Structure 1
């Protein structure tokens, strides 16, 4: 049938990391892992695409808000702006997005995805051109984290003709945003220059301080492309991408006690006055596309990312971690509550320079070849990557006393041990993916090999003359996946898939610490037509081994804030529902679009950990049972639109022990919360539009997180006005 043949072509095109050269004489598109929304119809796993149009209609700059439109994706808010995203997929964990493969244009973006995957760096979401979320057997193509899935962010492509865009926005709390790009293609050459700059004074008030609680973040991107002329014997292209970003944000790990949260959710304790994150990132990638013929193409990329950051922040009070200090103040009030409020003096307030340098670099190549065996069409993908990364920590501390509510400097200490260490990892990956088209069936077979060797050493003296300890570990795994899609007719398809999941242990893990492993199943159906589409997919993940990379922000159940803990077996099951429709369309072109994303999840530990820090029946932290987002409104294309998005997030346990019989859960759960955002856009002419948006229109603030250390709110009601001009 015609539609099936068209879907087949879309599936093949999306499987190729870059489109056929014959179709890109004027434009080399962003590197996609799925393609457009229609391409998801034929994938044997959950797949969702947020197009540039989808992103522009809401003008979000917080990636958490963007991903509410995708079922099966979870998040834990932290600062209200999405500066440090915590994203998980299908129960994989959400700690700094460290259990999913995060990419931009197909290249891993975490500062050190193998050695230290917690993503303290995140690109400015306001400059994204599109977002792709992939789960199921096809994720074996995009490791190293194949337990949950992969997210690929698309950058702005080089324009086919001389053109550009300027977007300026202002709002409450001193919010300012500017996004601009300009580029052109002339003959064999193309270029694009882009900047995204965003700042705010913040919505929290710091006790006894004149400093704000905001941020200033700046991204710069440059692209240069050369493409062989159409008459050349060899069709090929090179694209160089350069990136620089910087961020200064007056953010802290210190949250609030519940009693203070109830009185003023936007309060910040004065002892966090001097906390500040300062980071810089430089990245370069060189991509090469070589087209042998209409059926064979080779795509390669060499990349290097350097990320330097220092989060200077309060770490402990009187020898106790700030998390433990807030927990005691919650439970008992008294002196510790008075210390936090500044009403009582305190000694030995330790502020740590969380100073780290990251390097991530590698080369990856992928051959795409289409061929036919009898009546079976095949799209074969063979790829490999060599990657190495490291994180160098040199973290001196300063000690202050709190006297009459003010910080008084006492001394400084140079780092040793865990604060003076180097962690690195070398990884070799290889994968084979075959999409076989057999009549009305698309069968996907996947294999992935990962070999990760990690090392860590600590110095016993600040000058690094004496090594105090060394650790090393190795994780090696061969994973397989099998999926099938049955194209029933022009509108319906059924899908089913199974694949092995893998997440390597961090670089500080002890020798013999195994990787996280799981077997993941899913099945469901899709329906597609011009004004209505639906995805309903059930999933089940059986974890043979569950691991957590320990950190100060998210200590492991055994109390460690470094290394990796391996604990228990677990199961995660759930249901994802995605609907998109135009429920009404008038004769004048007026439309009423609706989009729904809903996820039900049930996860629990099914076997005790060896050290009994995690027990059978324990829950998985920060995993909501129900998560839903509904977007609806009215629009007249090329004239105006008005949309409202309403999202609901269930309250979540913050640790594994939350629901144990007899356990007091008062301070171990977040709140249920509902957030409504609205945005209205008016098209002044074909090149200019103005918009108004209000986040959290009903000004409902709840405890959305209790990590790193205390109760934390979502952003309050905040209004913005913006203007966008294309030229």
Structure 2
């Protein structure tokens, strides 16, 4: 049965790959046969998707807190990594585990950022997580920022349409669309550390366009090589993406994508407080490294009807491998003899049809219906090798599987000339996890079945005032490793409440306010190796998010923004009842200033993060290892100057940026096996040049 399922998934992935390649070949043939002129093309967007295509305009009417980072903003701020890109989003916190951007850890609204396991991360609306139901941690992050056009961060009102694991919201990375005209882009970014003279090269090339009014092709390649500011940080990344858009009819849109991502990296790891004070750029973990690769494909069919109905069918699959190698920190003889590793292999397939249509009799309504099936298979091994004796042992050899079924429906009521929109909805999740220990033959299973209701309300009172509110129930299924201890664990569930407003008192001033509360129930906590995981935890997250924008009329081209987030968390059961949750800073302050004049652009952005605890016990005093203790507050400032000009009718963009311009020393605590202080990158110079043909 296992081999037959693997064969079916392999055929699914292979079919997507072959389809994409055939479309590419046919397009290239047509490009040679047809005239070089290009028909003006209007991009169709999927409106049956609840969020729709992310633009500043769609944000204005979304019934929840939401931020869209445009391509212009990504370019102006010199965002090379996910941490750079999300730094100015209220309520979002990012830790860069590697120092080179390949392993970001993302948290939303005080939820744990470690491995991004409590945030739903999408790429073009498709889950990027290795096992979206059974292992939500992102221990492989197959994404490079050069391929991204915009980022959509929806922090409220999404659970019905996007479950599971969306307690804090959804972050959707939208890749670059195929350009209407044939275009070629070459971009090079060099990141240089003045203090250590280490350099990282980020090379990007893109070729694409519509060969006629029916077929568009695009190929992107991103290659990262070099070192971060720290020792033992050699990084190699290859990210190749191919896209096809085919319009066989005026109302039909077929999109295919194929991605191959591979990374091989040394990991500098965490430091003890003593080592950190000696030299925060050193590494005391010479055996730590990471490898990973993934082959991903998707095929999406969209059809639009004259009566306003829309149908889409999304299919996706991936086969992924990732492996951490790690050893003990250096001993007195500067040697480590035991190397452990944790190889994982993932095979995932998903299919999701969606239909939306209008009812115009009586009260105008828009009904959206969708369903999803997902199959996950994971091989989970932990082994060790003694480098002196070459003795090899396997501590764990586990096999996990999952069948997940979901269905949802929502109904939007349009009242008062479409100014008031009320959208009740419900989602049904059925998840069947199973586990087999290949060493002992023991088996466990864990089913999750639940109804997840929600309601979203948006009211455009005047052109200048938009009010919103929403309530959703969401869940995070029991994870694969949590069922290995047996017992009847229940999925983590949460009630999400949110209210807010968007205010534009003047054309050049904008104010966004949101208040939220998350009541977490059945939170799974690790007790001990003897007891395992148990549903001990309840927690409460609440806070406010504010954003203020201003474009002074007296200074044309100046854009000022600031945001403040306050988060209050509490553990409401278990051993540490009454304490704050780990890694949930109370205060976050963002600042952004951008000035454009003629072909020049100046950008300054900053982030303040207040103190936070690193453990549930709220330990203040740091231990000798550096694995627990309060994490200090920090300020970090980035600046970039960009110049646009032309050479021989070609567009050229050049940029000079300074990240962490004041070289502030700050850190967070290590992840998984690497315990201690994890230094954040110091002052870094970025030189960027982009050429468009």
Q: What interval of TM-score do these two structures reach, taking the shorter chain for normalisation?
A: 0.7 to 0.9
- Aligned counterparts of 1:426 and 1:564: Cα–Cα separation in 2: 22
Match of 1:619 in 2: 580
Match of 2:540 among 551, 556, 571: 571
Match of 2:618 among 658, 668, 680: 658
The Cα offsets for residues 211-247 of structure 1, whole Å up to 9 and x where unpaired, read as x4121111111012221243xxxx3122111100110
Question: Judging changes above 3 Å, is the alpha-carbon distance between structure 1 residues 362 and 443 closer, same or farther for their aligned structure 2 residues?
Answer: same
**Native 8 Å contact 2:110 2:585 kept in 1:** no
Match of 2:651 among 670, 683, 687: 687
Aligned-residue offset at 1:726: 1.9
Match of 2:430 in 1: 451
Are 1:725 and 2:691 an aligned pair? yes
Match of 2:113 in 1: 94
Aligned-residue offset at 1:670: 1.3
| Local SS of the residue matching 2:617 | coil
Are 1:538 and 2:547 an aligned pair? no
Match of 1:265 among 272, 277, 280: 280
Question: Judging changes above 3 Å, is the alpha-carbon distance between structure 1 residues 341 and 100 closer, same or farther for their aligned structure 2 residues?
Answer: closer
The 5-angstrom pairing of residues 306-385 of structure 1 reads 306-314=319-327, 317=328, 340=329, 342-344=331-333, 349-374=337-362, 376-385=363-372
CA RMSD of aligned residues (A): 2.5
Are 1:118 and 2:137 an aligned pair? yes
Match of 2:662 in 1: 698
| Local SS of the residue matching 2:671 | coil
- Aligned counterparts of 1:673 and 1:660: Cα–Cα separation in 2: 17
The Cα offsets for residues 682-714 of structure 1, whole Å up to 9 and x where unpaired, read as 111372111001111111112223434111111
684-693 or 242-251, which deviates more: 684-693
Are 1:184 and 2:160 an aligned pair? no
- Aligned counterparts of 1:563 and 1:283: Cα–Cα separation in 2: 34
Question: Judging changes above 3 Å, is the alpha-carbon distance between structure 1 residues 570 and 660 closer, same or farther for their aligned structure 2 residues?
Answer: farther
Match of 1:168 in 2: 188
- Aligned counterparts of 1:666 and 1:388: Cα–Cα separation in 2: 36
| Local SS of the residue matching 1:262 | helix
- Aligned counterparts of 1:350 and 1:458: Cα–Cα separation in 2: 24
Question: Judging changes above 3 Å, is the alpha-carbon distance between structure 1 residues 663 and 412 closer, same or farther for their aligned structure 2 residues?
Answer: closer
- Aligned counterparts of 1:562 and 1:277: Cα–Cα separation in 2: 31
- Aligned counterparts of 1:535 and 1:713: Cα–Cα separation in 2: 33
Aligned-residue offset at 1:24: 10
**Native 8 Å contact 1:545 1:570 kept in 2:** no
Match of 1:475 in 2: 448
**Native 8 Å contact 2:615 2:628 kept in 1:** no
The 5-angstrom pairing of residues 55-66 of structure 1 reads 55-66=74-85
Gaps of 5+ in 2: 1-38, 193-197
- Aligned counterparts of 2:531 and 2:242: Cα–Cα separation in 1: 37
The Cα offsets for residues 258-308 of structure 1, whole Å up to 9 and x where unpaired, read as 122122111111xx2232211111001111011232411101111111111
- Aligned counterparts of 1:457 and 1:692: Cα–Cα separation in 2: 53
Match of 2:27 in 1: none
Aligned-residue offset at 1:511: 4.4
Match of 1:129 in 2: 149
Match of 2:489 in 1: 513
Are 1:599 and 2:599 an aligned pair? no
Moved over 6 A (4+): 660-666
| Local SS of the residue matching 1:293 | coil
Question: Judging changes above 3 Å, is the alpha-carbon distance between structure 1 residues 441 and 37 closer, same or farther for their aligned structure 2 residues?
Answer: same
Aligned-residue offset at 1:564: 4.7
Aligned residues: 633
Are 1:303 and 2:272 an aligned pair? no
Question: Judging changes above 3 Å, is the alpha-carbon distance between structure 1 residues 30 and 168 closer, same or farther for their aligned structure 2 residues?
Answer: farther
| Local SS of the residue matching 2:96 | coil
| Local SS of the residue matching 1:568 | strand
Match of 1:255 in 2: 270
Match of 2:477 in 1: 504
Match of 1:398 in 2: 385
Question: Judging changes above 3 Å, is the alpha-carbon distance between structure 1 residues 585 and 591 closer, same or farther for their aligned structure 2 residues?
Answer: farther
Match of 2:26 in 1: none
The Cα offsets for residues 20-65 of structure 1, whole Å up to 9 and x where unpaired, read as xxx9954355897343112222222111111111112123121122
- Aligned counterparts of 1:562 and 1:414: Cα–Cα separation in 2: 25
Match of 1:293 in 2: 306
Aligned-residue offset at 1:634: 2.2
Aligned-residue offset at 1:345: 7.1
Question: Judging changes above 3 Å, is the alpha-carbon distance between structure 1 residues 93 and 563 closer, same or farther for their aligned structure 2 residues?
Answer: farther
| Local SS of the residue matching 1:396 | strand
Match of 2:460 in 1: 487
**Native 8 Å contact 1:702 1:713 kept in 2:** yes
- Aligned counterparts of 2:381 and 2:522: Cα–Cα separation in 1: 32
Gaps of 5+ in 1: 1-22, 206-211, 318-339, 401-408, 461-465, 549-555, 609-613
Match of 2:502 among 519, 523, 526: 526
- Aligned counterparts of 2:174 and 2:456: Cα–Cα separation in 1: 26
**Native 8 Å contact 2:379 2:400 kept in 1:** yes
- Aligned counterparts of 2:622 and 2:101: Cα–Cα separation in 1: 35
- Aligned counterparts of 1:47 and 1:542: Cα–Cα separation in 2: 20
**Native 8 Å contact 1:618 1:660 kept in 2:** no
Aligned-residue offset at 1:627: 1.4
**Native 8 Å contact 1:295 1:371 kept in 2:** no
**Native 8 Å contact 1:146 1:500 kept in 2:** no
- Aligned counterparts of 1:563 and 1:431: Cα–Cα separation in 2: 34
433-442 or 443-452, which deviates more: 433-442
Instruction: Please give the TM-score of this superposition, normalised by the length of structure 2.
Output: 0.87
Aligned-residue offset at 1:121: 1.7
Match of 2:61 in 1: 42
The Cα offsets for residues 192-220 of structure 1, whole Å up to 9 and x where unpaired, read as 11111122222223xxxxxx412111111
**Native 8 Å contact 2:287 2:339 kept in 1:** no
Aligned-residue offset at 1:563: 6.9
Aligned-residue offset at 1:583: 2.9
Question: Judging changes above 3 Å, is the alpha-carbon distance between structure 1 residues 581 and 559 closer, same or farther for their aligned structure 2 residues?
Answer: farther
Aligned-residue offset at 1:257: 1.0
Match of 1:326 in 2: none
The 5-angstrom pairing of residues 214-233 of structure 1 reads 214-230=234-250
**Native 8 Å contact 1:581 1:595 kept in 2:** yes
Are 1:641 and 2:601 an aligned pair? yes
| Local SS of the residue matching 2:295 | strand
Match of 1:148 in 2: 168
- Aligned counterparts of 2:353 and 2:391: Cα–Cα separation in 1: 48
